[in-house]
Amino acid sequence: MNTHTFTIRSLYDGFRKKEFSAKEITEFFFRRIEEKDKEIGAYLSLTKNHAFDVAKRADELFQKNTNIPLLAGIPLALKDNMLFEGTKTTAGSKILEHYISSYDATVIRKLKDQCAVLLGKTNLDEFAMGSSTENSAFHVTRNPHDLSRVPGGSSGGSAAAVAGGLAVASLGSDTGGSIRQPASLCGVVGLKPTYGMVSRYGLIALASSLDQIGPFAKTVEDVAMVYDAIKGHDEHDATSIPDEQPETHHYDSDYAKQLVVGIPKEYFIDGIEKEVQKGVNEAIEKFKRLGVRFKEISLPHTKFALSCYYIILPAEVSANLARFDGIRYGNISNLKSQISNLKELYEKSKGMGFGPETKRRVLLGTFVLSAGYYDAYYGKAQKVRQLINNDFTKVFDDTEDGVDVILAPTSPTRAFKIGERASDPLSMYLSDIFTIPANFAGIPALSVPVKQYVVGSGELPVGFQLIGKKMHEKDILALGMYYEKN
């Protein structure tokens, strides 16, 4: 058995045919984690008791052989910013090092309802701020394709777990690219759903108007299966969309073939790494051979997305992270002797509990929201965000010249070396130049590897992105499946 070759589909069939049990598969994955995760560092904590309890229940379901959910017995990993009742959730921050979740995030409850085996919590940049997972307060995560390189971020642990064969699929969160960019750098598939399609209840908020939870897996089909399991309306999340979407994991090549794909000229700019350009062109050529039609389109406000993001995101961060004040969250027991008033308590607990990137963004956010600067920065950025959204509406809604899906590179470069960008925030921020616009517009986007990258082959993965209309996950998943199955 090889953990790298398992997919949800193959495990499901194997369980049904009694080729192996969920308990055996769970043991097998924990053994693999013990051997391999020392070098990869994908996990922050393991939830073995839960995993074996559920595996037992899954095996009972397969014994009875009735009404078996698709994810029963499937070993999954979770980014450590989602609450899992009774277990540690750190968000990659020292300030939450000892925090035990008091309830289940909706996505976790849904996975538990399916009898999915949750193996553990994966590493991330602190509070999901970063593009390399180097901002974790605990340790770095290495890219399974080249251990001297980053897995991307901020959901680097979840991407590396799937690429390294340490989980069959996983969940991450994407605020400006944190699912798609690490998926691209690790050679796996990652989906950022439409804003509001997956409940954010129980996700530690970064920027509430942009955050979305979504899956990683080795195939588009597996990603669609996990997406089907976690999506849907949730009354605990006021931004959750009420409408039900159809199931997305059924392969339909006729549907995929008739979709028209737009190539935005603003996404194919100088400065993209040569290999990325080449990989994305290969993908386009393959789609053309498969009969897919392409059109050149323009999204003229793309160039403002990054600067706009680094105003809106810090503004929301400074509000969301205010709750980590050392009183309700944080460990002040060892600070007590140094604190004489409330202000000092805040200063000391935040000063010790937050890392440099988090501090940088909280300060920036407080500044852009402060009286006198609000209109010049935050107010203006909101207007520009609207222009970026209008670009998408225009190309998607145009009845004559419109397109169904947009294809673009996911990241301007392949995986970079650990440490290479750590001291240069700007070059790190540039990693998200192609992913941020979809978060602004709240539309779904899928990163697909140009081809199957085998760990150990020495090749660094390249991914491309399929961006869809609001609530049209079906389109990008259908095209992604058409690509991977042909």
Active site amino acids: 79, 154, 178
Coil, helix or strand at residue 149: strand
> Which of the residues 278 through 317 are near ligand GLN (CB under 6 A)?
313
Does 177 bind ligand GLN (CB under 6 A)? Our answer is yes
- Residue whose CB is nearest to ligand GLN in the complex, by number: 178
176 binds ligand GLN (CB under 6 A): yes
Closer to ligand GLN at the Cβ: 10 or 209?
209
> Shortest gap between Cβ of 182 and ligand GLN (angstroms)?
9
Q: Coil, strand or helix: which one is 408? A: strand
Rank residues 206 and 225 by Cβ distance to ligand GLN and give the closer one. Answer: 206
Q: Is 3 in the site for ligand GLN (CB under 6 A)?
A: no
Which of residues 163, 191, 206, 460 is near ligand GLN by CB under 6 A?
206
Work out whether 174 is an interface residue with ligand GLN (CB under 6 A).
Answer: yes
Minimum CB–partner distance for residue 234 and ligand GLN (Å): 20
Q: How far is the CB of 200 from ligand GLN (least distance, A)?
A: 12
CB distance 310 to 429 below 8 Å: yes
Of 21, 26, 178, 465, the residue at the interface with ligand GLN (CB under 6 A) is 178
Q: Which of 137, 129, 241, 132 is nearest to 176 (CA)?
A: 129
DSSP state of 204: P
CB 319 to ligand GLN: min, Å: 15
Between 130 and 215, name the residue whose CB sits nearer to ligand GLN: 130
The number of residues that bind ligand GLN (CB under 6 A) is: 14
How many angstroms separate the CA atoms of 210 and 202, rounded? 15
In angstroms, the CA 217 to CA 221 distance is 9
Binding segment for ligand GLN (CB under 6 A), chosen from 61-69, 139-147, 171-179, 328-336, is 171-179
- Alpha-carbon gap, residue 89 to 204, rounded angstroms: 9
Q: Is the separation of the CB atoms in 126 and 92 below 8 Å? A: yes
Peptide bond before residue 333 is cis, with ω within 30 degrees of 0: no
CA 44 to CA 87: how far, in whole Å? 12
Contact map string, positions 100 to 139, toward ligand GLN, x by CB under 6 A: ----------------------------xxxx--------
Structure tokens at 196: 């509001």
Q: Which is nearer to ligand GLN, 146 or 174 (CB)?
A: 174
80 touching ligand GLN, by CB under 6 A: no
Which one of the spans 170-178, 239-247, 289-297, 465-473 is the region binding ligand GLN (CB under 6 A)? 170-178
Phi, psi of 239 (to 5 degrees): -95, 5
C-beta contacts of 388-392 below 8 A and 24+ residues apart? 388/299, 388/301, 388/302, 388/304, 388/305, 388/308, 388/437, 388/440, 388/441, 389/440, 389/441, 389/442, 390/301, 391/298, 391/299, 391/300, 391/301, 391/302, 391/437, 392/299, 392/437, 392/441, 392/443, 392/467
Shortest distance, position 155 Cβ to ligand GLN, whole Å:
7
Query: Counting contacts by CB under 6 A, is residue 154 touching ligand GLN?
Result: yes
Point out which residues pair with 117 in neighbouring strands: 75
Looking at 398-472, list the stretches that DSSP marks H as alpha helix, in order from N- to C-terminal side: 425-429, 436-441
CB of 56 to ligand GLN, least distance (A): 35
Strand ranges, E, within 54-166? 75-79, 117-122
Stretch that binds ligand GLN, among 176-184, 280-288, 398-406, 453-461 (CB under 6 A): 176-184
The answer to the question of residue 437 lying near ligand GLN (CB under 6 A) is no
**Residue 292 CA to its chain's centroid (Å):** 27
- By beta-carbon proximity to ligand GLN, the closer residue of 26 and 170 is 170
Q: Which residue lies nearer to ligand GLN by CB, 115 or 207?
A: 207
Q: Footprint of ligand GLN on this chain (CB under 6 A)?
A: 128-131, 154, 173-178, 206, 313, 432
